[in-house]
Structure 1
Amino acid sequence: MKKRESFNSRWGFILACIGSAVGMGNIWMFSTRVSLYGGGSFLIPYFLFVALIGFTGVTGEMSFGRATKSGPVDAFGYACETKGKRKAGEALGLIPVLGSLAMAIGYTVVMGWILKYMIGTFTGKTLAAASVDDFAGAFGSMASAFGNNFWQIVALVIAMIILAFGVGKGIEKVNKVLMPVFFILFVVLGIYVAFQPGAADGYRYIFRVEPEALADPKTWIFALGQAFFSLSVAGSGTLIYGSYLSDEENIPAAAGRVAFFDTLAAMLAALVIIPAMATTGAQLNTGGPGLLFIYLPNLMKSMPGGALIAIIFFVAVFFAGLTSLINLYEAPIATVQEKFHLGRAAACGVIGVIGVVVSLLIQGIVSQWMDVLSIYICPLGAGLAGVMFFWICGKKYVQSQVDKGRSSKFTDLYYPICKYIYVPICVLVLILGIVLGGIG
């Protein structure tokens, strides 16, 4: 039997997991929600939910992957094999794998936008528009059907080349460079913004606590959604990265570091974006692509040294997006390898062709595409992985897997909290997403 690939070092694995978690949600959604839901009033429940989901879901998916040394299909199959239902388990395992592929395809479209804007910061094209309406028009043209074919394909090819090198030589090496550089660049931006007139108003805005916002159920609901999706629990990416881990790794400690650095990335983005908006008196009331591709470029154009700021910002955003894209494509690539016994490069080729064709076709509807996935497929995948590991595999198996690599036994509270709180939370996220039209 061919030896399974693995990460070469502890920090290589942790940085890869941080890379999978740090993405557009940290940059274009977190800042907006901090702004809309009372600053510190949003941060309080957000930190609580990050701690809970990091402790339960992230630790669980990593442990499940390492225990089975496989992706979701074989992991779910193993769980159900104990009940004589392996085929049913494998079929259910396809849900998070196909969800990861579909999410990767949608993300490819977004990465095409980011790459075009990043290159444009060097040529001057990104900040060339004369007004916010012109920025909106340029983005609308790019985000339309077949509006950005070239850069989208380039972004996908870059990801596939990295993935073709494998886990240790590709995913790990790239994350070891891109993640530290991302954090350094955002710290540089944060320091720059701190010295701009009016930035203090932005900090007050971030850390204000409004009792009425804290008492509003929507603040807690969207804090839950932000934490859940930011930590990438979906039964696929975190599970597959866990499958490349050695038995010597202390998974709960690793999950804690991932949760910490993912939160740090979101806070750094907020400490750049919100004070930057405050320096011009602008109110941050829009999130999503519009913030990144319309309002921030318009703001940067008017800032001292705006051209350099735009370069630093979009390079950092591209790095964050690329590490997430790599993670999203990894589960389907690994599944093709496992099920069809293909080499790494061939599996990347198969998934890459699917990615190119479908991503080109969905350019005009990518927003709706991603909404369906975040509302239905991601929480469903996370919930299924939770049911398989915590309900079907059972307490003894779970505790033994979580304790591997630790010098002392992990808390006895872990299993009941996961079984009776985390798994129902996955169901709750699914229901709330359907009712509210998405909370991620």
Structure 2
Amino acid sequence: MKKRESFNTRWGFILACIGSAVGMGNIWMFPTRVSLYGGGAFLIPYFIFVALIGFTGVIGEMTFGRATRSGPIDAFGIACERKGKRKPGEALGLIPVVGSLAMAIGYTVVMGWILKYTVGAFTGATLAPADVDEFSAAFGSMASAFGNTGWQVVILLAAMGILMFGVGGGIEKVNKVLMPVFFLLFVGLGIYVAFQPGAVDGYHYIFRVDGKALGDPKTWIFALGQAFFSLSVAGNGTLIYGSYLSDEENIPAAAGRVAFFDTLAALLASLVIIPAMATTGAKLDQGGPGLLFIFLPNLIKNMPGGKIIVIIFFVAVLFAGLTSLINLYEAPIATVQEKFHLERKPACAVIAVIGVIVSILIQGIVSGWMDVLSIYICPLGAGLAGIMLFWVCGKEYVEKQVNKGRNSHLTSWFYPICKYVYVPVCILVLILGIALGGIG
């Protein structure tokens, strides 16, 4: 049997997981949610849910991957085999794999937009529109059917080029460079914004606790959704990265670092975007692509040094998005390798062809495509992985696997919290997402 690839260093693994978690949700959604749901009143439940999901879901998926040394299909199959039937588990394992591929394809479209705006930041095209209406028209044209094919193909091929070099030679090396640079760029942006007139109003809003908002159930619901999706628990990407981890590594410690740096990235984005909006008196009440491609460029255009700021900003966003895209494609690539016994490069080629064709076809409907995945498939994948590990594999198996690489055993509360709190939370996220049209 061929030896499974692995990460070369502890921090290589941690940075890869941080790269997986840090993405568009941190940049275009978290600041908006902070703005809409009472600033500090949103942060309190968000920190609580990050701690809960980081302690349970992230640790669980890393552990499940390492214990089975496989992707979701075989991991679910191995779990069910303990009860006598492997096939049902393998069938259920298809859900997070297909979900990861579908999410990667949708993300490819978005990353095509980001690549175009990053290049445009250098050429001047990104800030060329005269006002918010022209910025909106430019984005609408790009986001239409077949409106940005070339750039999204380029970003997909770039991701595949990295993935062809494998876990240690591609994924790890790229994340070791891009993630530190991302944080440095956003820290630099934060320092710049801090010296702009009116920025203090933004800081005051971020950290002020609105009691009414804190008591609003919607604040807690959307904080849960933000934490859940930001930490990338979906039964695929974190699980597959865990499968490349040695038994000597301390998974709970690694999961804690991932949760910390993912939260730091979200806070940095808020400390840049909300004070920047405050300097112009603009109201941050719309997140998603509109914030990133319409309102922020219009804002940056009128800031001192805007031509430099827009370059730094979009380069940082590009790095964050690319590391997430790599993770999303890794699960289906690894699955093709495992199930069809292909080498990595042919497996990458197969997934690349699928990715190019489907991403071109969904350009005009990518918003609805991603909504379906985030509402249904991601929480379902996370819930299934949780059921397989904590309900099917059982307490003895879980505690043995999670304590590998540790000097002392993890608290005895870990297993019951995972089984009786985390798994029901996954189901709750699914139900709330369906009821409210998405909470991630």
TM-score (norm 1): 1.00
Report matched runs for 1:371-386 at 5 Å: 371-386=371-386
Which residue of the partner structure matches residue 221 of structure 1? Answer: 221
Which residue of the partner structure matches residue 125 of structure 1? Answer: 125
Which residue of the partner structure matches residue 158 of structure 2? Answer: 158
The letter for the 2-side match of 1:312 is I
Report matched runs for 1:122-201 at 5 Å: 122-201=122-201
Measured after TM superposition, the shift of residue 296 of structure 1 is 0.3
The letter for the 1-side match of 2:234 is A
Cα distance per residue 1:64-118 (max 9 Å; x no partner)? 0000000000000000001122011001000000000000000000000000000
The letter for the 2-side match of 1:317 is V
Report matched runs for 1:203-218 at 5 Å: 203-218=203-218
Which residue of the partner structure matches residue 92 of structure 2? Answer: 92
Separation in structure 2 between the aligned mates of residue 275 and residue 158 of structure 1, nearest angstrom: 34
Report matched runs for 1:393-432 at 5 Å: 393-432=393-432
Cα distance per residue 1:92-145 (max 9 Å; x no partner)? 000000000000000000000000000000000000000100000000000000
Unaligned runs of 5+ in 1: none
Separation in structure 2 between the aligned mates of residue 411 and residue 71 of structure 1, nearest angstrom: 27
Separation in structure 2 between the aligned mates of residue 162 and residue 397 of structure 1, nearest angstrom: 35
The letter for the 1-side match of 2:158 is I
The letter for the 2-side match of 1:400 is K
Report matched runs for 1:96-111 at 5 Å: 96-111=96-111
Which residue of the partner structure matches residue 367 of structure 1? Answer: 367
Measured after TM superposition, the shift of residue 193 of structure 1 is 0.1
The letter for the 2-side match of 1:347 is A
The letter for the 2-side match of 1:122 is F
Separation in structure 1 between the aligned mates of residue 231 and residue 215 of structure 2, nearest angstrom: 25
Which residue of the partner structure matches residue 23 of structure 1? Answer: 23
Query: How many residues were matched structurally?
Result: 440
Q: Does 1:319 align with 2:319?
A: yes
Measured after TM superposition, the shift of residue 397 of structure 1 is 0.2
- Alignment RMSD (CA, Å): 0.3
The letter for the 1-side match of 2:217 is P
Which residue of the partner structure matches residue 299 of structure 2? Answer: 299
3-state DSSP of counterpart to 1:83:
coil
Which residue of the partner structure matches residue 287 of structure 1? Answer: 287
Separation in structure 2 between the aligned mates of residue 374 and residue 172 of structure 1, nearest angstrom: 26
Measured after TM superposition, the shift of residue 287 of structure 1 is 0.2
Which residue of the partner structure matches residue 437 of structure 1? Answer: 437
Q: Give the ranges of 4+ consecutive aligned residues of structure 1 lying more than 4 Å apart after TM superposition.
A: none
Separation in structure 2 between the aligned mates of residue 209 and residue 87 of structure 1, nearest angstrom: 51
Separation in structure 2 between the aligned mates of residue 11 and residue 83 of structure 1, nearest angstrom: 36
Cα distance per residue 1:19-78 (max 9 Å; x no partner)? 000000000000000000000000000000000000000000000000000000000000
Separation in structure 2 between the aligned mates of residue 288 and residue 411 of structure 1, nearest angstrom: 39
The letter for the 2-side match of 1:164 is M
The letter for the 2-side match of 1:291 is L
The letter for the 2-side match of 1:96 is P
3-state DSSP of counterpart to 1:196:
coil
Measured after TM superposition, the shift of residue 354 of structure 1 is 0.2
Which residue of the partner structure matches residue 62 of structure 1? Answer: 62
Measured after TM superposition, the shift of residue 414 of structure 1 is 0.3
Separation in structure 2 between the aligned mates of residue 142 and residue 155 of structure 1, nearest angstrom: 15
